[in-house]
A and B are shown apart, each in its own frame.
Chain A
Amino acid sequence: MGSDPRLAPGVASSLLDLVGLTPLIELPRLSPKPSVRLYAKLEGQNPSGSIKDRVAKAMLDAAEASGELEPGRRLLEPTSGNTGIALALVARLRGYPLTCVVPSNVTAERRRLLQLYGAEIVDSPGEEGSNGAVRLALELAEQDSTFFMPFQYANEANPRAHYEGTGAEIAAALDHVDALVAGLGTGGTLMGAGDRLREAFPDVVVAAAEPLPGDEVMGLRSLEDGYVPPILDVAKLDRKLLVTNAEAVASLRLLLEREAVLGGVSSGAVIHAALRLADELDEGVIVCVLADGGWKYLSADFWDAADVARAMERSVWW
């Protein structure tokens, strides 16, 4: 924490000093057998509440170091999820205005969070989903050279933040890791932390938990609209496990009941995938990266829904 010599030990100079070095806890009550030890990296403990603080800080650090980002420029990113909120926090502390391009039908609590952190919001056509937001952001960046777009899907600082941070922290904390499980979004966590853990533990299995979207969400896209983030190299994944929304929520509840950890939806999916791997192992160590806490999902319908799958099929959850 903090390299400022004027500060007493344990005092940070700003929230940016508190990004990373998240807690790693064992989940003994969740493990299906004592010989398989499950651990969770609690990324919800980052200042804006998600793993994306690491990515936002790393992308802006890299852009400032290269001279691409300097005072007077404005940040632009197509996102309304955790990356937008993390960028808004870092941008505010660094003094850059941030514009987030979000589909017009984004959920109200995401919009509110972005506004509270000071981001300007530009709506893209809701029916075009995330692809429409990416397209409009690229157009805006083209028209106005004061915009700088970090673009997490293609920014190498994203996996590097996990190589130098998330992965290095796990490697330093544990003597051995047999499997790393993380949610598949941009691929940043799996690529970066996966590479770092492979260096320390060459036989580690890098496993992705991937969402099975509802029909309505999928219905917006054609195969031609398919998108594989440039930073994601699927060949580096040892396992890629599909998790339904209902399975993710069932595991969220289990995590809460057994270990009193309140995770976000992708954390439930990661736990589901980890328990599947645990069943295959006689013994070993599995590390789960839990990307955020459950706080941003409290108003969602699925917590009390009789039919969880139906309650969740209309939204993208991670």
Chain B
Amino acid sequence: MATIRIPPTLRAEVGGARELDARGCTVADVIDDLVARFPALETQLLSGGQLADFVNVYVRGEDVRTRDGLDTEVREGDQLILLPAMAGGSFGVRPHGV
């Protein structure tokens, strides 16, 4: 079992959860398990069987694109983090109203 951290923009698709448990020995397995339970996630996360361009997935704190992609191994107790790709370069910005 691994845990998956869900970014704010995808929480509506998973009933508001910040973190979910999922099963699988690879990133592909874990995403399949997640999509089986929350089908609306599929088009957000995948494109043509690959990770969508603007989605980053991290296992043990490292982007799977610089490891083995969807075949990256997931171990018992690992945390996966899903993040939208964001423009780099600090704007020194605080969110509106803060």
Contact = CB atoms under 8 A, between A and B. Distances in A.
Interface of A: 79-83, 102-103, 105-107, 110, 125-127, 129-131, 133-134, 152-153, 184-187, 210, 212-213, 215-229, 232, 234, 237-243, 266, 276, 314-318
B81 interface: yes
B36 interface: no
Contact of B92 (A80, A213, A220, A242): A80
9 contacts: A82-B90, A103-B93, A105-B96, A218-B8, A223-B54, A224-B54, A238-B66, A242-B63, A242-B83
Given A218-B8, A227-B85, A228-B85, A129 B66 contact: no
B65 A219 contact: no
Nearest to A238: B66
B84 interface: yes
B94 A234 contact: no
A185 B66 CA distance: 17
Interface of B: 7-10, 18, 44, 52-55, 58, 61-63, 65-66, 81, 83-98
B54 A240 contact: no
B88 A229 contact: yes
Nearest to B65: A234
Nearest to A108: B92
Contact of B83 (A129, A212, A227): A212
Nearest to B61: A242
Contacts of B85: 226-228
B7 A81 contact: no
A152 B91 CA distance: 13
Nearest to A276: B61
Contacts, number: 147
B92 A81 contact: yes
Contact of A129 (B44, B58, B91, B98): B91
Given A219-B8, A226-B53, A102 B98 contact: no
A240 B62 contact: yes
B53 A110 contact: no
Contacts of A210: 63
Which of B7, B61, B65, B89 has the most CB atoms of chain A within a 10 A radius of its CB?
B89
Contacts of B58: 242
Contacts of A314: 94-95, 98
A222 B54 CA distance: 10
B91 A103 contact: yes
B52 A185 contact: no
Contacts of A221: 9, 84, 86
